[in-house]
Chain A
Amino acid sequence: DTEVTQTPKHLVMGMTNKKSLKCEQHMGHRAMYWYKQKAKKPPELMFVYSYEKLSINESVPSRFSPECPNSSLLNLHLHALQPEDSALYLCASSQVENPYNEQFFGPGTRLTVL
């Protein structure tokens, strides 16, 4: 199984809402990532978890709050977002957080902030 799953596929939220994005992988990978992707741009790294601990936070605003409940799950909690946060949010995983390891991406959540 080389699949990373993400839910929901689409999400529309107001600026005062609280919502969560979910990601799951069953490949035994110990590194998981959140990316944000705008149209016609490459993915932009937000967070990295390595062995369920936050390893990298790319100076992401606090309205985005990641959580890694266990080695298979990754959540991204959203609160008080801005319209400019509308984007495709991608989850990825790799065997470990190693420069040599390829990352496998999920299908993404298309987020629209009104």
Chain B
Amino acid sequence: EDQVTQSPEALRLQEGESSSLNCSYTVSGLRGLFWYRQDPGKGPEFLFTLYSAGEEKEKERLKATLTKKESFLHITAPKPEDSATYLCAVRWNAGNNRKLIWGLGTSLAVNP
């Protein structure tokens, strides 16, 4: 069964303590892996798209990487404002199915 799994479910860091979030997927025929940030009660904010293994993208303290089976979102020296839920979604194009498959997210809390 095609699925996307994010770990850990929740993560608490001290300000400045770097860490990584994981998104593993089992879909075949990957057409894109998307990272979003979501604050409580708000819509997801687009962060990155990764298309092929070996690809990396960076934005401020965030860096996303992709392998054939998983993606990592590295957070370097996080600040309290990085606290949010980070969602991973995968798009594949098997037959007529054009949906995104979403992970359940990682809830990140950064303490000052």
Contacts and interface: CB of A to CB of B under 8 A. Distances in A.
Given A42-B102, A43-B102, A45-B99, A99 B31 contact: yes
Interface in A43-93: 43, 45, 48, 56, 88, 90, 92
B49 A102 contact: yes
B62 interface: no
Interface residues of A, number: 24
B98 A102 contact: no
* Residue among B32, B92, B103 facing the most chain A CB atoms (10 A cut-off): B32
Contact of B91 (A42, A100, A104, A110): A100
A101 B45 CA distance: 14
A99 B46 contact: no
Contact of A105 (B31, B44, B51): B44
Given A42-B89, A99-B93, A107 B98 contact: no
Interface of B: 31-32, 34, 36, 41-46, 49, 51, 87, 89, 91-93, 98-100, 102-105
